[in-house]
Amino acid sequence: MLLHVIARGKIARSPEAELVARYEKRIAWPLKLTELPETGGRVAEALTPCRTVLLDEKGKDLSSEHLAEILEKWRDGGIRECCFFIGAADGHSQAERDGADLLIAFGKATWPHLLVRAMLLEQLFRATAILAGHPYHRAG
Ligand SMILES: C[S@@+](CC[C@H](N)C(=O)[O-])C[C@H]1O[C@@H](n2cnc3c(N)ncnc32)[C@H](O)[C@@H]1O
């Protein structure tokens, strides 16, 4: 299953970009990163069947193991692409929230979107490492 991270805003050369690159290299699953402007922009049509996940403060606070289980279930169920959307300063619209398969929160705090990009990449690496039995993740 292709993990497709679609994020608003330009990351350019920055500490966040270094973190994104670090985890991007380590994720063994097919991975694609698409950067959109703060507003507007278009994303190539997803492979079908696909799932849509929004990163959103109003989402579910999932453990890394739970995220891994969801990805495993979708992959094994024949889902070909999972799109993860990170919003810009104004976040996501209610229509976008209503249309998503899953909303994930990294706690109730509001984080800068570039940091969320790095955090999501780390969680995707962690989830895929859990599924691969890689020792990176040590359950608490
Ligand atoms: C600065 S935040 C936008 C805040 C905006 N006021 C809102 O209502 O969503 C930019 C993006 O970062 C991500 N983000 C920020 N905090 C988050 C959190 N706690 N959990 C998940 N994603 C978060 C979301 O994708 C959000 O759209």
Residue 7's pLDDT is 97
b/e sequence 6-43, b meaning 16+ C-beta within 10 Å? bbbbebeeeebbebbeebbebbebebebeebeeeeeee
Please report the atom of ligand 1 found closest to the CA of residue 54.
Answer: 25
Sign of CA dihedral 91, 129, 71, 49: positive
**What is the whole-number distance in angstroms between the Cα of residue 114 and the centre of ligand 1?**
10
pLDDT > 80? residue 139: no
Annotated binding residues for S-adenosyl-L-methionine:
55, 87
CATH architecture classification, 2-132: 3-Layer(aba) Sandwich (3.40)
87 Cβ inside 6 Å of ligand 1: yes
Among 54, 55, 119, 121, name the best residue to mutate to test ligand 1's pocket (greatest count of ligand atoms within 8 A of Cβ).
55
Please tell me the distance from the alpha carbon of residue 85 to that of residue 66, in angstroms, as a whole number: 19
Number of H helices, E strands in the chain: 4, 5
pLDDT > 80? residue 140: no
Domains in the chain: boundaries = 2-132
Helix (H) or strand (E) holding 4: strand 2-8
pLDDT in tens, 20-79: 999 999 999 999 999 999 999 999 999 999 999 999 999 999 999 999 999 999 999 999
Residue 102's pLDDT is 98
Residue 137's pLDDT is 84
93 Cβ inside 6 Å of ligand 1: no
ipTM of the complex: 0.96
pLDDT greater at residue 59 or residue 138: 59
pLDDT in tens, 109-135: 999 999 999 999 999 999 999 999 988
Residue 56's pLDDT is 98
- Alpha carbon 1 to chain centroid, angstroms: 13
